[in-house]
């Protein structure tokens, strides 16, 4: 994403699990030079002189609690965001009020590009777990893009990546079977974990089965049945939100 989501470590301590024990969202200074996700966020070719300018644009890093909205559809667009830690889902609402999950954003990925076209957010972004994001004011970012070719190119790439991601999602929903959709989704999360230096075979999938179904255009029952089928075939091992891919090539063959 744009700016490396946070850089100064954000310490968020919760005294208890209940909602009453959760503190309000906190904000901290963000520094790109020390962020663990900078290899995913930082523009290639940015000079040492340009880095302080980028860090000056990132006003703060904000903690977003599980279930909290970072922004809601219809709210004015002012900022782009980079996920520093945790994960968030994006959703869009149908006319009848039902919400459709449109994306999963992991550490090092951007949020908020949906607001650029009409100056209001078309999607909502909701934390799937306690997460943190860097806040990037769009007006200041545009000024930086006029001064830095590397930053402008990075913003263009982010927009292009979102177009490709949405086109791939449409193709998946329109042409793949239920088994193929679930396999493709698990492989996608696996590959994105590798980019972050995590295990390709074991991860906690913070999405609920219902969210997975919404994202993949399937019912909750179909998602659960498909995962059970994969487990019986020895492709994966699931324990709640924990997923272990036992046979990576088997999933790819699907």
> May I ask the CATH architecture of the domain 19-150?
Sandwich (2.60)
The pLDDT tens digits of the residues spanning 66-120 come to 999 999 999 999 999 989 899 999 999 988 888 999 999 999 899 999 999 999 9
Q: pTM of whole model > 0.85?
A: no
Which long-range contacts link 250-254 to residues 24+ away (Cβ below 8 Å)?
Answer: 251/183, 251/186, 251/187, 252/183, 252/187, 254/179, 254/180, 254/183
pLDDT band at 51 (very low <50, low <70, confident <90, very high): low
Is 91 within 8 Å of 166 (Cβ atoms)? no
Give residue limits of the domains in the chain: 19-150, 176-253
- Whether the pLDDT of residue 19 is over 50: the answer is no
Burial of 197 (0-12, 13-18, 19+ CB in 10 A): exposed
Per-residue pLDDT, averaged over 180-186, amounts to: 94
CATH class of the domain defined by 176-253: mainly alpha
Give the three-class secondary structure for 152: helix
Residue 18 has pLDDT above 60, yes or no: no
Structure confidence by residue, pLDDT tens digits, 217-240: 999 999 999 999 999 999 999 998
């Amino acid at each position: 994403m744009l700016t490396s989501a946070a850089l100064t470590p954000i310490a968020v301590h919760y005294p208890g699990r209940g909602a009453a024990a959760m503190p309000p969202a906190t904000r901290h200074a963000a520094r790109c030079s020390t962020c663990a996700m900078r290899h995913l966020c930082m523009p290639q070719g940015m000079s040492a002189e340009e880095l302080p300018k980028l860090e000056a644009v990132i006003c703060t890093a904000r903690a977003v609690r599980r279930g909290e909205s970072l922004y809601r559809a219809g709210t004015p667009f002012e900022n782009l965001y980079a996920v520093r830690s945790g994960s968030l889902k994006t959703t869009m609402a149908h006319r009848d009020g039902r919400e459709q999950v449109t994306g999963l954003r992991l550490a090092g990925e951007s949020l908020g590009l949906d607001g650029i076209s009409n100056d209001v957010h078309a999607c909502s972004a909701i934390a799937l777990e306690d997460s943190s994001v860097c806040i990037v004011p769009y007006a200041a970012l545009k000024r930086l893009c006029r001064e830095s070719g590397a930053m402008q190119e990075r913003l263009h790439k982010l927009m292009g990546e979102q177009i490709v991601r949405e086109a791939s999602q449409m193709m998946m929903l329109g042409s793949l079977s239920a088994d193929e959709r679930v396999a493709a989704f698990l492989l996608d999360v696996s590959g994105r974990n590798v980019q972050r230096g995590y295990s390709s075979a074991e991860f906690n999938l913070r999405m609920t089965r219902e969210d997975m179904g919404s994202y993949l255009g399937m019912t909750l029952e179909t998602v659960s049945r498909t995962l059970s089928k994969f487990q019986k075939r020895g492709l994966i091992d699931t324990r709640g939100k924990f997923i272990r891919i036992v046979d990576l090539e088997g999933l790819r063959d699907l």
